[in-house]
Structure 1
């Protein structure tokens, strides 16, 4: 069973993105393990001497590096992602590279009718930055619009069609995870062969 890291872009009280990532964790139980981490409570990013990191950053980075992939649920603030999520990603790419070639599934919930399309487009660009270099599927964003009324009292999404869409997108994401893992293994084998030939030569 695959192991994923789940990140909510905000942990504000009543956050529907926290509800969304909790739903994903519960919904995927038995299919995949989703471990939730918080990246929104670190100090404001600033360059430090010798790339020193705030407490907790290295622990989260190690979990991301060891995971098969990452699932992020982001709100949309002013057509972008929250400052807290951007701040977390900045620390997670400062002298460390846990997202390098890591498959990331982008999801989000918004009070409005347009969902989180602009925020998801923005975070896709951030994840594509050389310092992060994550892997995402194009045109595969999962969005929950009018999110205040999207969950029942147990935290489940009430729209069956929306749940079906999530399942389809997650199936695509798992294909990406397998492809990335296969390519990484092929790269390791090629590097080992090249090193062996170098020694023999």
Structure 2
């Protein structure tokens, strides 16, 4: 996506694998890596979360990051989020995406998840070429449409700040 949409959208990849395992730190001191990711989320117009599916759920590394990003900080509060995913199986990441929607909608995160917009890539080992480029024209067309919708969703969310101000006051 980063290469494909380079002329239209600035996408920055964020690595989650280097975060320490979440364990409620004494004094709520957060690791610098978590603060850096939180700052990137705060500065972003929107967030695209790409997830694989392991045992019908999101992977532990993503859960770990979300636990850190909801402990005393709230970078996802009313942040527009689009969820996408690819998996080896025939169902794509449908169950992981449903799981992630539930997590992101929790009171600790309160993200604004783009509705009615699953982007699933099933059988991912066959879906991409050697360079990592998506090959199916229909799938590419759907992705282009969803990214355009996400840009509109971000614009729409700029007008929905009444609840955000109230939520900010309660944090």
The TM-score normalised by the length of structure 1 is 0.78
How many angstroms does 1:150 deviate by?
1.0
- Count of residues in Structure 1 that have an aligned counterpart in Structure 2: 165
CA distance in 2: counterparts of 1:169 and 1:27, whole angstroms: 14
Q: Deviations over 1:143-193 (max 9, x none)?
A: 110001111122210001000001111111111100111223xx49x99xx
Q: Does 1:100 align with 2:77?
A: yes
- Per-residue deviation, 1:47: 0.8
Which contiguous aligned blocks of 4+ residues in structure 1 show a shift greater than 2 angstroms? none
Q: 2 CA distance for matches of 1:134 and 1:177?
A: 12
Q: Alignment partner for residue 132 of structure 1, among 109, 120, 137? A: 109
Contact 1:105–1:136, Cα closer than 8 Å, also in 2: yes
Matched, 1:57 2:34: yes
SS at match of 2:98: helix
Give ranges in structure 1 of 5+ residues lacking alignment: 1-23, 192-201
Consecutive unaligned residues of structure 2, counting only runs of 5 or more, are 167-171
Partner of 1:144: 121
Per-residue deviation, residues 99-131 of structure 1 (Å, max 9, x unmatched) = 110011100001011110000000000000111
Which structure carries more strand by proportion? 1
Cα offset for 1:38? 1.1
Cα distance in structure 2, aligned partners of 1:32 and 1:70: 12
Distance 2:37 2:21 in 1: 17
Q: How far does the alpha carbon of each residue in 1:23-81 deviate from its partner, in whole angstroms, 9 at most, with x for none? A: x1111111010011112321111111121112311011001011001111101111100
Distance, in Å, in 1 between the alignment partners of 2:109 and 2:17 is 17
Please report the RMSD computed on the Cα atoms of aligned residues, expressed in angstroms.
Answer: 1.6
| Matched residue, 1:162 | 139
